[in-house]
Every structure is written in C-alpha cells, then in structure tokens.
Amino acid sequence: MAQDFEATFQKDIMTGSFTTLLTSDSDDAVIGMRFANKHSGSVTVDAKITRSTVDYYLIKDAPLPSGGSLEFVDGGSKVVIQSGDTLSANCSRTASVDVAVSYIDTISE
C-alpha cells in the first residue's frame, strides 16, 4: 500500500496561546517538523500533542537563534498521532516563527 505523504505550513505562530498545526482524523505519523526564526533576536519554541484535553509536550522552551532553524523530528524518527489528537506550537515572540510539518496520512495497520 502506497503511503500518503502530506505537509502543512503555518506562518507566524503565536505567543501564549498555541497555534494548531495539525488535527489528526486517522492514525498519522509526523516525520518532519521544522521551526524557522525570522526575528532579529533569539526566541524559544514549544510543541505539544493534545489528546483528550491532556497536553503532552514534545519540546519545551527550545532556543532558536536569530535567522536559525530547528529540525525537531528528523533522522528517521516519527511521532505517531491518533484520530482526534492535535499537534500545536507556540513561540516566545509573536509573528517571528514559521513551522513546516511533514506527515504520513492514515498509516496502514
């Protein structure tokens, strides 16, 4: 069975409240997540999965230098999310970070 590779992009993630990057409607595998800092100073980023109102942080207060990027999921690693899970992120300075997420939609059993 061929895999259905997908991507989602979010420009200018927020500070304080989390920006939703992906809401799963099946069993999916996140295979890449890159944060890019567009601000002139350093920032920090958070990413979490919410399942049934419980937050599970994947990364918390990760430093991101000016003009830098952070590849959070890489090197063949995967984060499996199930139907109804929400992947979201925020940063320490509004409108300074973009995020790209690559995932496999509906992983086979």
Computed over its alpha carbons, how large is the radius of gyration of the chain?
Answer: 14
pTM here is 0.91
Percent of the chain predicted with pLDDT > 70 = 96
Domains, the chain, in order of start with CATH, read: 4-105 (2.60.120.220)
3-state secondary structure the chain: CCCEEEEEEECCCCCCCCEEEEECCCCEEEEEEEEEECCCCCEEEEEEEEECCEEEEEEEEEEECCCCEEEEECCCCCEEECCCCEEEEEECCCCCEEEEEEEEECCCC
pLDDT of residue 76: 79
Q: What is the pLDDT of residues 42-91, one digit of tens each?
A: 999 999 999 999 999 999 999 999 999 999 877 778 999 999 999 999 99
Q: Is the pLDDT of residue 109 over 70?
A: no
